[in-house]
Amino acid sequence: MKRIVIVTGASSGLGREFALQLAASRDCDEMWLMARRKDKLAELAGALGPRARVMDADLSGEAGVRRFAAILADESRRAKDGLIIDTLVNNAGFGTYGPFADTDLARQLEMINLNVVSLTGICHTALPFLERGSRVINVASLAGFIPLGNFAVYAATKAYVLSFSVAIAAELADSGVFVSTVCPGPVDTEFALVASNGARERVVDGKSPGDVVRHCLRDAERGRRVSVMAAKWKFKAFMSRFVGRYFFARHTWVHDKRPSR
């Protein structure tokens, strides 16, 4: 059996860090780097060595899920004894700042397609290739713990990822497949640049993506199914249980404007 590690959204940020750190920590035959930016993937593959494979693919929506399924099926046929997914990291996703009414609808539906539809479909498609000891890591967000004004759709998609991931973690526990969810707050990646459409280059007080991934992988080794790194982030996640959902959405709508063009 060929053992593989798959990282979606591997071209930058957390995805790139997951690929780098998993290459050093997991025993696999191949590491599949999946994203749309082939040049970035090729650069990363060069750093990872011969095990890395570049698979530039648009994974968005149902078409993206079919694309992922076709790749898995084709590669499984080519492998001598089939494939086993050692680790699957669902990192592909993006956010968009701004009021719901003022944000392009097509862009928001695209966000739902990638953050929710693709992640769900990829998890389901991967199931037959998982075995006892396999791991699934889904990237959610601190935003998934409570509704956010000026970030409504993104926070809702990450709330879905968190809820879905914990649920399938419970369903798959008896099979020995471990599912974990990483819920970072602000991280120093390209996220803000994309979310603000170029108005904000970096988030304020962004944490190192390397530190976030390192913490997530350490939590997974310890059997923690939800990974929240910084003390400030843990406090916010904990307090979300006691703050009214409407109150916090209204508070962020009034006091936490996010730049966008």
Catalytic residues: 154
Which residue, 200, 185, 98, 189, is CA-closest to 143?
185
CB 67 within 8 A of CB 42: no
CB 122 within 8 A of CB 8: yes
Return d(Cα 113, Cα 34) in angstroms, integer. 17
DSSP code per residue over 57-108? ----HHHHHHHHHHHHHHHHHHSSS-EEEEEEEE-------S-GGGS-HHHH
Q: Is the dihedral of CA 33, 70, 5, 143 positive or negative?
A: positive
CB 255 within 8 A of CB 150: no
DSSP code per residue over 126-176? HGGG--TT-EEEEE--GGGGS--TT-HHHHHHHHHHHHHHHHHHHHHGGGT
Tell me if residue 55 falls in helix, strand or coil.
strand
